[in-house]
Amino acid sequence: MKGYLLLETGEWFEGKWFGAEVESIGEVVFQTGMTGYQEVLTDPSYAGQIVNFTYPLIGNYGINGVDDQSIRPHVLGVIVAELCSEPSHSQYRLTFEQVLEKYQIPGLAGIDTRELTKIIRKHGTVKGVISKTLDHPIRSMDSSSKPSLVNPMNRENVIADMTLVETVSTANPIYYPGDGPHVVVMDYGYKYSIIDALRSLGCAVTVVPFDFTAEQVFKLNPDGILFSNGPGDPKDLIHLSHQVKMMASAYPSLGICLGHQVLGLAFGADTEKLLFGHRGVNHPVLNIETNQVWITSQNHGYIVKEESLKGTDFQVTHINVNDRSVEGMKHLYLPIQSVQFHPEAHPGPVEAFEIFVDFVEQCGMSRNSRTSCSSKGVKQYAQTS
């Protein structure tokens, strides 16, 4: 069956429909990884988005039972050049298409994904519709007989009256046992691999809803707090800034991706949307302190503005080699650090795993001696800043 991807810019593509026979509207983004399509499907950070895979063959090793990053896929749709319907891997359980059918996600194959990527790079991230017909009710035909949207789709969240984070965050705390430091993970859309990384270093982990208050977190008696990745605009969570600042000022803290942006906002910095974002597994990041370049896994559309960090007591620790955007920062006085990339990867390289090692060491110090981070000074800072 034929299907169409209609973009708000007026361009459209025809392809072969696969997956669920439902139409879908979302933000169209491109992902450049050569592997890891299963992790992409199940990464909550892709909620609200239609993912265009630039690698030409998708589905060739199937879907296994170990690499999911959450309980279910979160993408709204997928675009591929070529779909493999007969995977070859000893661990595969389902085909790529079977997963899409199971979770009611549409896809289009036979699309020129490189050309689509060029359009996104030219215009910026755009909204699009996966439709069974060119006669879609939300668009009309222009003079060149190509579809254009009657009313450009709202560039805010796709799900009305809810932030995307609300749709993916846990409703109740989840506890993972461990003998080491106790880390509370603020769930903005966390990936399972983040929990795996912490537990591999011996941590006990409690995942809590995104809107847990500082008081609720303090009652859990953590040794550190991790602010997770997640979907959407970080400013959708700006109303939580006071609570975030209280938590981060009281315990060693690590922010990843959206968590990095949320920490920046909480301490007075600003964020902005990139033209087309960073989504892939080969993004070079420079560690300013060591002059080393890491190849990193990334998935984000927003960044912390470097100039807005002035006066926040944060300094930049990592920058993107390609566009010089902020990729990491740390507080001058408190044990707070954050990174825009994914040190846990999955998919991607693991060069940046030491970020977790440093964080867990700080949590261990906090656990062994609450005064190691000068608790009195921390409390004073939290009250006066």
The radius of gyration of the chain from alpha carbons, rounded to an integer in Å, stands at 21
Tokens for 171?
């409703």
Is 345 buried (19+), middle (13-18) or exposed (0-12) by CB count in 10 A?
buried
Catalytic residue flag (residue 8): no
CA 316 – CA 303 distance, rounded (Å): 13
CB half-sphere exposure, 384, CA atoms < 13 A: 6
- How would DSSP label each residue in 265-291? HHTT--EEEEEEEEEEEEEEEEETTTT
Tokens for 14?
């025809």
Catalytic residue flag (residue 342): yes
**β pairing state of 49-53 and 24-31:** parallel
Per annotation, catalytic residue among 257, 260, 331, 346 = 257
Q: State the Cα angle at 300 between 75 and 185, rounded to 5°.
A: 85
Closest CA to 283 of 308, 305, 249, 257: 257
Per annotation, catalytic residue among 136, 260, 283, 342 = 342
Catalytic residue flag (residue 344): yes
Closest CA to 54 of 30, 83, 29, 82: 30
Per annotation, catalytic residue among 8, 27, 327, 344 = 344
CA 88 – CA 90 distance, rounded (Å): 7
Catalytic center residues: 257, 342, 344
